[in-house]
Structure 1
Amino acid sequence: MAALLLIATAALLAFRGAYADKVYPAVAVGDVPVGGLPRDAAETRLAERAAALAAQPLRFAAGDRTWTPTLADLGVSLDLEASLGAAYRVGREATAPDRLWSAANLVRNDRAVPFGLRLDLGVLGRWCDGIDAEFGREPRAAALVVEGATVSIEPEVDGIAVDREAVRAAAVAAVAAPSDGVAPLPIVTTPAAIRAADLAGARARVGAALAAPVAVVHEGRRWELAPEDLGRFVAPIVDPARTGADAVTLDLDQPALAAFLSERFAAEIEREPVDALLGWNEGPVVVEEGVDGRAIQAETFAREVTTAFFAPGGTVPVPVEIVKPAVDGTNLDQLGITTLLARGDSNYDGGSFDRDTNVEVGARLLNGTLVPPGGEFSFNGAIGEITADKGYVVSTVVQGERAGRDIGGGICQVSTTVFRAALLAGLPITEWWPHSYRILTYEHDGWGPGYDASILQPEGDPFGGGDLRFANPSDSWLLVESWTTGVHVVVNIYGPDLGYDAQFSETTFDGPFPHEEADLETVNPALPPGTIEQTEWPLDGSEASFTRDVYGPDGELLESRQFFTKFRGRGNVWQVSPDMVGQSPAGG
């Protein structure tokens, strides 16, 4: 007996020695026999099988669509190290009895260990994402559809998506049991949260609401909001924490409804506040009281209209709030207007009656203009659009300038006077346009060339042209007061004591420069037949400039700026009636 045991032990030792660096015989990994192979040869054979596995296809179908991903597409690959290690450990178990049993078993039976697999869930997820984008759909709840004054229900759509766990399981199973068959694409269904039946009650309620208009009233006036106007704002609110009919609450789209109501009623109900008209009498005084504004409380209005829509029969008073003007008789002492900053003047003697009229209208409209703390004065903004209903008449655009008559001609006499006042006050000039041609009218009373300011209000865009602007650098208000006396325009600017000292250089004047423009003939259909009249005379060009230095209360230089004007030259200009074209000295 001892001899037999000795023989068996010797045989086992010899067996183990023969396979010291090899896989024991009769061992396979999956369907790949690796028994008796050295480790590197076994690894090579498994690598070949891994490549074949990576290209092994699966077939899925849904409806008339098919997909044929490989195992690699699904993130499944052979783990060479794990597979080879499992094969090599057969017969090399941790305990002697296990090793003996395993070796003896290999003599009688083959031993197959399963493939070691790697699963890349990111790759699997990307393949499933692609199928979902092509084939899947998000669940869509049933919805109310309002068209005009009718309401219907759009049925729900359940969501479908690839069942990722089922695809993973199918891929793993295909490693051990490949198949050429076509399997149904594994999908999961996500029921829509709201079914058509859940909206039956909501449909009935909206239908009842659409049966009658909503009445709106304000200060004795009455309007009706038609059902079709309000129906487009129906916006059921779905509570994601609930399902079925309990998840649905009826409402109207509040922001959109508020915007609609504001646009619908603003012109008839709202008004801007009007600041008090101020003058000066050893301090600011109220010349004309301000007017309160009125604004619709749009959010409240929308909520009350919504309530009336779903509970027909009542009326909705338009909720408004009073908007106080920024300046009125109660807060004059808070404006900070304490002193005269500067006075500007200009002489418009020699103008036509129509031009004088426009100068006086402009000065009247400018009077009382207020500039808020840190704000900016705009001449066009102060006088508003130049129109006949304000008293303006047709006149030469600016006397002596290039041909043309227009409503409001002469208004630049007023903007020039404001420019001079702002210059003398030391205020920062933020927009300034000198005239293109030298106008001697602006040089009356000792003012040099270049101390003028033109403005322009193009037809159709009155505030898109050239403007005169200056900044209010203080934390108090400014008051612009203007009037005409005799043939003079006077502009006073009041505000806080800024302590500014504005100093001006002598005006530098160069010229005249001979004009280079040819004589011009223009046709005026309004002239009677046989008319040839000269409207402009030759004018040479020139250049003028001056520098303003502004010093602060402590003597520091705040600004040094040159104001430069290049005056253009021009030739003769004749206007002719249509029958006299080409017969003026300009020759057409």
Structure 2
Amino acid sequence: MAEERDAGARLREETPRGTGQEWGAVVLRLLAALLVLAAIYVGAALYFKDRPPAGLSVAGVEIGNLTHDEAIEHLGRELADQEKAPLTLAVQAVDDGKPVGDPTPLTLDPAEAGLSYDYEATIQGVTGFTLDPRVIWSHIARSERELPLVGTVDREALDAAVAALAEDYDQEPVEGEVTLVDGEVEVVDASHGRELDREATADAFASGWPAAPEPGTTVEAAAPPPFLSQAEVDRFTSEEVEPALAAPLRVTAVDGEGEDAEEVTAEVPPREIAAMLSIDRSPEHALSLTLDEDAMLERLRQDLGQLERGPADATVRLDGSTVKTVPARSGAALDDEALMTAVGAALTASGEEREVRTELTPVEPEIGDEVAKAWKFSTMGSFTSEFPGGEVNAARSHNIRTAIERLNGVVVMPGEQFSLGAALSPIDASGGYQEAPVINNGRLVMGMGGGLSQVSTTVFNTSWFSGVQLDAHTTHSFYIPRYPAGREATISYPGLDNLWTNDTSTPVVIRTWTEDHTIHMEYLGKRQYTVETIEGERQNIQEPERIVDDAPTCVTQAPSPGFTIYVARVLSQGGEVVGRDEYTTTYIPEDEVVCTHPDAN
């Protein structure tokens, strides 16, 4: 019994020890299992660390459970065409808030514009080692999820690409233009320009990238207007140019009244009208037509001018030795200003309003008959001059008589300047003149109109004693004894002339004639001054030389000393001196020339 009790006691003592060992084994086995599971879990985490979760896609391309590099390569391959697809948006030109024309599509090459997909940035954060069970579970249990695609923008390259687009897009405004060519109207229509807003356009492409611009995406561009608008071109063409050239212009001029009236009509066709029109543009860019009024008047006078006649001033004429009055006569002329006003209005009209009717206006003479009634004529001054005769002087005498015939009866009106050269011209054979001796460089030579200096001297002295205004004369180079010393004048027109002005209130009539070998000349008019002549002594006398010339062109020359002399004309009126003309003349010696050639003289 005792052994049974001992055995029972041992059993009771040993039973708890055995149970503890069993539980320890269980724990160990559990720990081992947990370690295995942990190892498997960590191994799975290590396996999935470089792989996106299952069911993950980018732009419709699944990349789940691919390695990082495989995912990038796969996306690059699958999205290559999409990445390179051209981008398009519309550009609407706008002026003052209003669209101009239709939108223009602009297409951009993403690769050239620095637009690309960034696959690294796209899948960043979806790979890598983690023990997060949710992440591990996403690799095991498929869960559909779309990852947004990330793009990169190289702004410098994008701006350059947009600038290239702008070069093609931008346009200068087209200025409207209206021209007249060969009587026809040529019109260039005006249009706005285009200027791309480069920054806004680049922003529009970049803002949605990597997505392409939505269909209908529009950016605004500037539409600079032309200075000359199409509206102004249309207005000017329809309201001014076309009416002006629509039909011929008819202008009728009338001279006189009633049955005695005369009429002449001029018709100007559109082609001729166009040649007289010019197009002007104001600083405000408004167009207008300008008529060349001088050209139009000239054209109208080709027909209407036959009715015009100039007025004739009252004047006088010499009838023998008597001065008779020639009455004044009124003229008739077109009123240029009124006519051009009417023509300008007719150019914009049509039908009967395109016809102009104008009356000639009377033109009164400046010097009327009432003025002429006050003219009284008497001898103002006179002069006579003897010229050598004989056969050797026949040509010279002929020239003198020819000139005197031309001068007789010449009328110089008040305020008019008389030119002896003009009165005698042309001084050549066609004017009836011959060659005779003239002075050239101190020698007598044959020249056209020899002898006219004696006529010039006669005119100068008649002017001197008549008291008229002396304007210009030239003395001979050496003294000729038949002329008053210091009071003579040569002529070689147009280089040398003899000029005087009628400074009286009455016409001056030249009365002149030759009798035998004497020139008689007097001025008929109203003398206003008393003339006194002062003549000084001859000074600085120089003796001539003797020259023997065997040339066939030699002209015999008599000797005459050179000297200096002073002369003056004193003009008095009412006993008081009112004017004084003074002249100092120096003559060179006239050398004696002896001709020995048989053909000389």
* Alignment TM-score, normalising by the size of structure 1: 0.51
Q: Mapping of 1:554-573 within 5 angstroms? A: 554-556=575-577, 558-567=579-588, 569=590, 572=593
Give the whole-Å Cα distance in 1 for the aligned partners of 2:547 and 2:264: 63
Judge conservation of contact 1:156–1:192 (CA < 8 Å) in 2: yes
Q: Secondary structure at the match of 1:350?
A: coil
Q: Mapping of 1:64-75 within 5 angstroms? A: none
Give the whole-Å Cα distance in 1 for the aligned partners of 2:330 and 2:237: 49
Judge conservation of contact 1:371–1:477 (CA < 8 Å) in 2: no
Q: Mapping of 1:121-136 within 5 angstroms? A: none
Q: For residue 484 of structure 1, report the CA deviation from its aligned partner.
A: 0.7
Are 1:433 and 2:474 counterparts? yes
**Residue of 276, 287, 291 corresponding to 2:315:** 276
Partner residue of 2:534?
504
Q: Deviations over 1:46-82 (max 9, x none)?
A: xxxxxxxxxxxxxxxxxxxxxxxxxxxxxxxxxxxxx
The 1:542/1:235 distance shift into structure 2, 3 A limit, reads: same
Give the whole-Å Cα distance in 2 for the aligned partners of 1:214 and 1:496: 52
Q: What percent identity do the matched residue pairs reach?
A: 18
Give the whole-Å Cα distance in 1 for the aligned partners of 2:512 and 2:306: 33
Q: For residue 291 of structure 1, report the CA deviation from its aligned partner.
A: 6.8
Q: Secondary structure at the match of 2:246?
A: helix
Aligned length: 391
Give the whole-Å Cα distance in 1 for the aligned partners of 2:187 and 2:515: 78
Q: For residue 419 of structure 1, report the CA deviation from its aligned partner.
A: 0.7
The gaps in structure 2 that reach 5 residues or longer are 1-169, 196-219, 255-261
The one-letter amino acid of 1:547's match is V
Partner residue of 2:75?
none
Q: Deviations over 1:69-124 (max 9, x none)?
A: xxxxxxxxxxxxxxxxxxxxxxxxxxxxxxxxxxxxxxxxxxxxxxxxxxxxxxxx
Are 1:535 and 2:555 counterparts? yes
Give the whole-Å Cα distance in 1 for the aligned partners of 2:351 and 2:428: 48
Q: Secondary structure at the match of 2:276?
A: coil
Give the whole-Å Cα distance in 2 for the aligned partners of 1:556 and 1:387: 43
Q: For residue 519 of structure 1, report the CA deviation from its aligned partner.
A: 4.6
The 1:238/1:575 distance shift into structure 2, 3 A limit, reads: farther
Judge conservation of contact 2:408–2:511 (CA < 8 Å) in 1: yes
**Residue of 492, 499, 510 corresponding to 1:481:** 510
Are 1:252 and 2:286 counterparts? no
Q: Mapping of 1:220-239 within 5 angstroms? A: 227-235=270-278
Give the whole-Å Cα distance in 2 for the aligned partners of 1:430 and 1:156: 65
**Aligned Cα root-mean-square deviation (Å):** 5.2
Q: For residue 420 of structure 1, report the CA deviation from its aligned partner.
A: 0.6
Q: Mapping of 1:89-108 within 5 angstroms? A: none
Judge conservation of contact 1:261–1:298 (CA < 8 Å) in 2: no
Judge conservation of contact 1:371–1:377 (CA < 8 Å) in 2: yes
Partner residue of 1:456?
492
Q: For residue 561 of structure 1, report the CA deviation from its aligned partner.
A: 0.7
Partner residue of 2:458?
417
**Residue of 534, 537, 547 corresponding to 2:567:** 547
Partner residue of 1:86?
none
Give the whole-Å Cα distance in 2 for the aligned partners of 1:290 and 1:490: 31
Are 1:286 and 2:324 counterparts? yes
Judge conservation of contact 2:512–2:520 (CA < 8 Å) in 1: yes
Q: Deviations over 1:403-441 (max 9, x none)?
A: 2332x443333221121112223434221111234444x
The one-letter amino acid of 2:576's match is G
Judge conservation of contact 1:456–1:467 (CA < 8 Å) in 2: yes
Partner residue of 1:201?
238
Give the whole-Å Cα distance in 1 for the aligned partners of 2:497 and 2:383: 18
Judge conservation of contact 1:546–1:564 (CA < 8 Å) in 2: yes
Larger deviation, residues 254-263 vs 496-505: 254-263
Are 1:148 and 2:182 counterparts? yes
Give the whole-Å Cα distance in 1 for the aligned partners of 2:543 and 2:358: 67
The 1:199/1:308 distance shift into structure 2, 3 A limit, reads: closer
Partner residue of 2:433?
393
Partner residue of 2:372?
332
Q: For residue 559 of structure 1, report the CA deviation from its aligned partner.
A: 1.2
Are 1:346 and 2:379 counterparts? no
**Residue of 390, 405, 408 corresponding to 2:447:** 405
The 1:298/1:376 distance shift into structure 2, 3 A limit, reads: same
Judge conservation of contact 1:158–1:192 (CA < 8 Å) in 2: no
Partner residue of 2:95?
none
Give the whole-Å Cα distance in 2 for the aligned partners of 1:374 and 1:383: 21
The 1:289/1:472 distance shift into structure 2, 3 A limit, reads: closer
Judge conservation of contact 1:540–1:568 (CA < 8 Å) in 2: yes
The one-letter amino acid of 1:422's match is S
Judge conservation of contact 1:147–1:228 (CA < 8 Å) in 2: no
The 1:514/1:413 distance shift into structure 2, 3 A limit, reads: closer
Are 1:365 and 2:406 counterparts? yes
The 1:448/1:285 distance shift into structure 2, 3 A limit, reads: closer
Q: For residue 575 of structure 1, report the CA deviation from its aligned partner.
A: 12
Judge conservation of contact 1:539–1:569 (CA < 8 Å) in 2: yes
Judge conservation of contact 1:277–1:290 (CA < 8 Å) in 2: no
The 1:354/1:556 distance shift into structure 2, 3 A limit, reads: same
Partner residue of 1:77?
none
The 1:384/1:227 distance shift into structure 2, 3 A limit, reads: farther
Q: Secondary structure at the match of 2:523?
A: strand
Judge conservation of contact 2:396–2:451 (CA < 8 Å) in 1: yes
Q: For residue 322 of structure 1, report the CA deviation from its aligned partner.
A: 5.9
Judge conservation of contact 1:519–1:571 (CA < 8 Å) in 2: no
Give the whole-Å Cα distance in 2 for the aligned partners of 1:537 and 1:191: 83
Give the whole-Å Cα distance in 2 for the aligned partners of 1:504 and 1:449: 12
Q: Secondary structure at the match of 2:445?
A: coil
The 1:190/1:226 distance shift into structure 2, 3 A limit, reads: closer
Q: For residue 452 of structure 1, report the CA deviation from its aligned partner.
A: 2.0
Q: For residue 258 of structure 1, report the CA deviation from its aligned partner.
A: 3.9
The 1:516/1:316 distance shift into structure 2, 3 A limit, reads: farther
Q: For residue 486 of structure 1, report the CA deviation from its aligned partner.
A: 0.9
Give the whole-Å Cα distance in 1 for the aligned partners of 2:561 and 2:520: 29
Give the whole-Å Cα distance in 1 for the aligned partners of 2:243 and 2:178: 11
Q: For residue 344 of structure 1, report the CA deviation from its aligned partner.
A: 1.9
The one-letter amino acid of 2:489's match is A
Judge conservation of contact 1:403–1:536 (CA < 8 Å) in 2: no
Give the whole-Å Cα distance in 2 for the aligned partners of 1:509 and 1:545: 6
Judge conservation of contact 2:253–2:304 (CA < 8 Å) in 1: no
Give the whole-Å Cα distance in 1 for the aligned partners of 2:269 and 2:547: 65
The one-letter amino acid of 1:192's match is L
